[in-house]
Amino acid sequence: MSIDEYISVVGKGPVEELKILADKLSGKVIKTINSTQMGGGVAEILNRIVPLLNELGVLTKWEVIGGSADFFSVTKKIHNALHGAPVTITDEELDLFLQNNKINMEEMDLNGDIVFIHDPQPVALIEKKEELGNKWVWRCHIDTHTPDWRLWRFLKKYIEMYDASVFSSPSFAHPLSIKKFLITPSIDPLSLKNQELSKETIDSVLGKFDIKRNKPIITQISRFDRLKDPVGVIEAYNLVKKSVDCQLILAGGTAVDDPESAEVLSEVRERTEGDPDIHVLLLETPADIEVNALQRASTIILQKSLREGFGLTVSEAMWKGKPIIASAVGGITFQITHDYNGLLTRTIEGTAYAIKELLCNPGYAKRLGRNARESAKQNLLVTRHIRDYLLLFLSLYHPGDIVYM
What is the binding site for ligand UDP (CB under 6 A)?
40-41, 44, 193, 221-223, 251-253, 283, 287, 291, 310-313, 316
Nearest residue to ligand UDP, by Cβ distance, number only: 41
* Cα angle for residues 16, 22, 25 (degrees, 5° grid): 155
The nearest distance, CB 21 to ligand UDP, in angstroms, is 26
CB-nearer residue toward ligand UDP: 160 or 263 = 263
Nearest to 169 by CA among 309, 62, 11, 363: 309
Kind and range of the H or E run holding 116:
strand 114-118
The nearest distance, CB 389 to ligand UDP, in angstroms, is 17
CB-nearer residue toward ligand UDP: 9 or 283 = 283
The nearest distance, CB 335 to ligand UDP, in angstroms, is 10
CB 30 within 8 A of CB 393: yes
CB-nearer residue toward ligand UDP: 163 or 316 = 316
CB-nearer residue toward ligand UDP: 67 or 230 = 230
47: Cβ–Cβ under 8 A, 6 or more apart, which residues? 38
The nearest distance, CB 277 to ligand UDP, in angstroms, is 20
The nearest distance, CB 256 to ligand UDP, in angstroms, is 12
User: What type of residue is 39?
Assistant: G
Q: How far apart are CA 291 and CA 17, in angstroms?
A: 31
65: Cβ–Cβ under 8 A, 6 or more apart, which residues? 33, 34, 35, 100, 101, 104, 108, 121, 122, 125
DSSP state of 187: B
CB-nearer residue toward ligand UDP: 196 or 349 = 196
CB-nearer residue toward ligand UDP: 34 or 395 = 34
The nearest distance, CB 42 to ligand UDP, in angstroms, is 6
User: What type of residue is 376?
Assistant: A
